Amino acid sequence: MCPEEHILSAYLDGEVEPPWRPRIEDHLRDCASCRQALEEMQWVRERMRAQEGPDHRPALERFRTELSLRRGLTWPARLGFWRRKVSIPLPVAVLAAALIFLLGASLLLLQSRMEFRRMSIKREPSGVTEVHVAAPIEDLEVLLKALDKEMPTREIVITLPKDSRFLIMGEPKILRAADFIRSQ
Amino acid sequence: MIRGARPEVPAFQEVYETLYPTIYRIAFRICGNQGAAEDLCQEAFIKLFERDQSLPDLEQTKYWLIRVVRNIALNYEKRKARERKAYERLEQINPRYAESGEAQLLRQEDAGFIQWALDRLPFSLRVVIVLKEYGGMNYREIGSLLGLSAGNVKVRVFRARKSLAGIIKEEAKHVP
């Protein structure tokens, strides 16, 4: 026997007592006319909820002003964006801080490593192998440190572009190779 | 009225900012008119402002405001019904005032169509379905607010849905 339609409406609202829910669900599986009645009510509900009402804010502001003028009501100052407070649960805050730290650390690590792009390998008949590499250079100091770290035992020739223009800064200093190595 | 004296009692300003959107939405859906909804809200909040005793919390204040809005809306409804009757008499005297098929089609496509259908419901059903769908309240809460049993609310919600479906279908038949 079909349940009364107002029971189906209550079922739609989740207002049917728990023991009755599975029985209604069983019935709905077998009864096309009850399914149709439920779908119609659902359709009405969805149409109602889909249509947004008018914006309340202009009315709220108008009456707020009137309350201030006529009733002398003062309103707490609204905080600007940068002074607004937010509350975050502690575990989320800890996780966010850890993520920011990890992100910062990995960015620093990436910056400190210079990227070398291999261009070509040439083997000379004498047995010497020439590896031509190219790297973007922003700071000569960084390049030298990176080369020292990557290829400390190889002989390195740096070819600068022909149109490079250097300025002489300070006094030149001549050192013996042994002193230079020691000072390192 | 002294609000905010006890920490758990919210100040009027806080109540206003928090509850105005909900009260306005319910008022608009009950009376179907923006200007009237604004008036209803103003009247309800003025009553709250002038109330001698503060209400214990936001939830109780919300129910109190909805009850006030519902009572004022009922008076508005009676006035509107009188105006509607006068309008219908005018239609009989001068058919130019009757709504055209084109106007009906526009209404069907208009975003306010559901509101138009809601306006055709009896007040007692409209209030209940509005509180259910736009107030987010359950049967027990609606019942305690309107002085009805939860069973009665259940039946009214069903009747409102059934009537709305009928109104929408009937209107669809008339659209060319």
Q: Are residues B9 and B67 in the same domain?
A: yes
User: Which of B79, B98, B117 is the endpoint of a domain?
Assistant: B98
Q: Are residues B73 and B14 in the same domain?
A: yes
More confident residue, B129 or A111: B129
User: How confident is residue A123, by pLDDT bands cut at 50, 70 and 90?
Assistant: confident
Q: Are residues B127 and B88 in the same domain?
A: no
Q: Are residues B131 and B113 in the same domain?
A: yes
Q: Does A20 touch chain B (CB under 8 A)?
A: no
Per-residue pLDDT, averaged over B22-32, amounts to: 94
Residue A33: the pLDDT is: 93
Q: Are residues B75 and B86 in the same domain?
A: yes
Helix (H) or strand (E) holding B161: helix B150-174
Q: Are B74 and B123 in contact (CB under 8 A)?
A: yes
Two structure tokens written together for B170:
């009937």
User: How confident is residue B173, by pLDDT bands cut at 50, 70 and 90?
Assistant: confident
Helix (H) or strand (E) holding A131: strand A129-134
CATH number of the domain within which B139 lies: 1.10.10.10
Residue of B17, B34, B114 lying closest to A51 (CB–CB):
B114
Range of the domain at B35: 1-98
User: Which of B45, B76, B98 is the endpoint of a domain?
Assistant: B98
Residue B56: the pLDDT is: 81
Residues of A in contact with B155 (CB under 8 A): 6
Per-residue pLDDT, averaged over B134-158, amounts to: 95
User: How confident is residue B168, by pLDDT bands cut at 50, 70 and 90?
Assistant: confident
Residue A154: the pLDDT is: 64
Q: What is the pLDDT of residues A1-46, one digit of tens each?
A: 888 899 999 999 999 988 899 999 999 999 999 999 999 999 999 9
User: How confident is residue B1, by pLDDT bands cut at 50, 70 and 90?
Assistant: very low
Q: Are residues B31 and B88 in the same domain?
A: yes
Over chain A, what is the mean pLDDT? 79
Q: Are A7 and A25 in contact (CB under 8 A)?
A: no
Q: Which of the 8 DSSP states describes residue A77?
A: P
Distance from the Cα of B16 to chain A's closest Cα (Å) equals 9
* Domains: count for chain B: 2
Cβ–Cβ below 8 Å for A5 and B162: yes
Question: B interface toward A at CB cutoff 8 Å?
Answer: 12-13, 16-17, 20-21, 24-25, 28-29, 34, 37-38, 41-42, 45, 49, 111-115, 118, 129, 132-134, 138-139, 150, 154-155, 157-159, 161-162, 164-165, 168
Q: State the Cα torsion B15-B20-B23-B27 to the nearest 10°.
A: 150
Q: What predicted TM-score, i.e. pTM, was given to this entire model?
A: 0.63
Give me the half-sphere count of Cα atoms (radius 13 Å) on the Cβ side of residue B123: 16
Q: Are residues B20 and B58 in the same domain?
A: yes
Alpha-carbon span B161 to B156, nearest angstrom:
9
Q: Are residues B7 and B49 in the same domain?
A: yes
Q: Are residues B70 and B4 in the same domain?
A: yes
How many Cβ atoms are within 10 Å of B34's Cβ, its own excluded? 17
Rg of chain B in Å (alpha carbons)? 19
Is the model's pLDDT at A156 over the cut of 80?
A: no
Residue B77 amino acid letter: E
Q: What is the pLDDT of residues A164-175, one digit of tens each?
A: 666 666 666 667
Alpha-carbon span B121 to B127, nearest angstrom:
9
Is the model's pLDDT at B126 over the cut of 80?
A: yes
Range of lowest pLDDT (A157-166, B94-103, B140-149): B94-103
Q: Are residues B72 and B126 in the same domain?
A: no
Q: State the Cα torsion B27-B28-B34-B40 to the nearest 10°.
A: -10
Q: Are residues B129 and B154 in the same domain?
A: yes
Q: What is the pLDDT of residues B68-104, one digit of tens each?
A: 999 999 999 888 878 877 777 766 666 555 555 555 5
**ipTM score above 0.90:** no
Residue B110: the pLDDT is: 54
A120 beta partners? A132
Q: What is the pLDDT of residues A60-76, one digit of tens each?
A: 999 989 888 888 888 77
Residues of A in contact with B138 (CB under 8 A): 13, 15
Two structure tokens written together for A49:
């909820």
Q: Are residues B175 and B112 in the same domain?
A: yes
Q: Are A52 and A19 in contact (CB under 8 A)?
A: no
Is the model's pLDDT at B38 over the cut of 90?
A: yes
Q: Would you list the domain boundaries of chain A?
A: 5-50, 115-183
Q: What is the pLDDT of residues B44-60, one digit of tens each?
A: 999 999 887 878 888 89
Alpha-carbon span B162 to B119, nearest angstrom:
15
